[in-house]
Structure 1
Amino acid sequence: MTSLVVISAGLSQPSSTRLLADKLSTAVVSALGTPVEVTVLELRDLAHDITNNLLTGFPPPALSAAVATVTAADALIAVTPIFSASYSGLFKSFFDVLDPDALDGKPVLIAATGGSARHSLALEHAVRPLFSYLRAVVVPTAVYAASEDWASTGDGELAGRVTRAAGQLAALVSGSPSSSTGSKDPFAQVIPFAEMLKAQGR
């Protein structure tokens, strides 16, 4: 059975970050079409443990179990809110306490939420480099959801990005070409930068 770990760094409860994480995990399970064990880690519940680990170097039991779960996972979905044009401090701190080799070669889908579409490129200049440094295999499509994406008129576009990214993660896990791209080239459907700016009205 495939083990999928979903990491949500939302600070409120409920949060749009967790909502996006749930959409992505549902899409990945559907794309895989095989039994999947999904574990969701809400980092807000581990915030004190993460701080204690950073200060003492020793993880409390709950954090130790979470780290072991992430290390043993077949794939990850990592979702953070965007603050000051970057990932949240809680999100970064969790990955700081992982063993440097914990994500080596692991398939990862990255996603983020924010108040404005202007912050969408934070996924490319902040989140993707973090996972590249940790030697994870990050899917080409990163999913960003701004406030307007949750409106009924914008959900179709968000749903398309979710489906494409989920198909790419499923392809990495199963070792087969992504059915969502219709190509063996995982970068075939990456949206050009100029097109992204045009879609944002720039």
Structure 2
Amino acid sequence: MKLVVVSAGLSVPSSTRLLGDRLAAAAVGQAVDSVEVEVVELRDLAVEIAHHFTNGFPGRQLAAAIDAVTSADGLIVVTPVFSASYSGLFKSFFDVIEKDALAGLPVLIAATGGTARHSLVLEHALRPLFAHLRAVVVPTGVYAASEDWGAEGLDGRIGRAAGELAGLMQGLSGVRAVADDLAVVPFAEQLTALNSPSGV
């Protein structure tokens, strides 16, 4: 199985990347099957992401990153908090991925920030984004504020979330193809069918 970590950290070293690495290690440790981990650093793709918006084509590195994410068996996404939400770079990367490409994919959401006051970013920003993309978001998200590093509780949250992701990866492997076959009928089309004599 392949697990991909998407890190939107900008600094080197990055607490965002560190959290992603710890989550990946915990997921690998709890998985029954062998897991290959690949890390996508969005910092290195910023220029190609911007060019994609203007010319409609991904560069070589961006295309490889998109392929890694869309072919993964599980995904860990980690973003720093900017203006009480995910970073623009993080959102831009997922904006250039084809619609429905993440349908049925198990995703663990995580974020880092300078204060615990931003911890709800997981629920008001990240979870709705990946629900919209029809991914399967694990119940436990992980937020790490500056004071959480080395404090009690972070390891427990990492372990619980990683265990949920590992379980979904093993339980949902092979199910994504079924999810892709589900056709969504537009609401207007459904109303038209109800109003037509043949739809009665």
Kindly indicate whether residue 155 of structure 2 is the aligned counterpart of residue 159 of structure 1.
Answer: yes
Equivalent positions of 1:27-106 (< 5 A) are 27-106=26-105
Kindly indicate whether residue 171 of structure 2 is the aligned counterpart of residue 175 of structure 1.
Answer: yes
Deviations 1:32-69 (A, max 9, x none): 03211100000000000000001111101110111011
Task: Give the greater-gyration-radius structure (CA).
Answer: 2
Identity fraction in percent? 66
Write the distance in 1 (CA, Å) between the matches of 2:69 and 2:169. 15
Aligned residues: 172
* 1:29 maps to amino acid: V
Write the distance in 1 (CA, Å) between the matches of 2:168 and 2:139. 11
TM-score for the superposition, normalised by structure 2: 0.84
Q: What secondary structure sits across from 2:153 in the alignment? A: helix
Write the distance in 2 (CA, Å) between the matches of 1:17 and 1:124. 18
Unaligned 5+ runs, structure 1: 177-202
Q: Report the equivalent of 2:179.
A: none
Deviations 1:82-121 (A, max 9, x none): 0111000000000000001110000000000000000000
Q: Report the equivalent of 2:141.
A: 142
Deviations 1:122-147 (A, max 9, x none): 11000100000000000000000000
Write the distance in 2 (CA, Å) between the matches of 1:104 and 1:160. 28
Q: What secondary structure sits across from 2:2 in the alignment? A: strand
Q: Report the equivalent of 1:188.
A: none
Q: Report the equivalent of 2:2.
A: 3
Q: Report the equivalent of 1:186.
A: none
Write the distance in 2 (CA, Å) between the matches of 1:81 and 1:17. 6
Write the distance in 2 (CA, Å) between the matches of 1:20 and 1:136. 21
Q: Report the equivalent of 2:197.
A: none
Q: What secondary structure sits across from 2:90 in the alignment? A: helix
Q: CA RMSD in A?
A: 0.9
* 1:167 maps to amino acid: G
Kindly indicate whether residue 125 of structure 2 is the aligned counterpart of residue 129 of structure 1.
Answer: no
Write the distance in 2 (CA, Å) between the matches of 1:78 and 1:173. 15
Unaligned 5+ runs, structure 2: 173-200
Moved over 4 A (4+): none
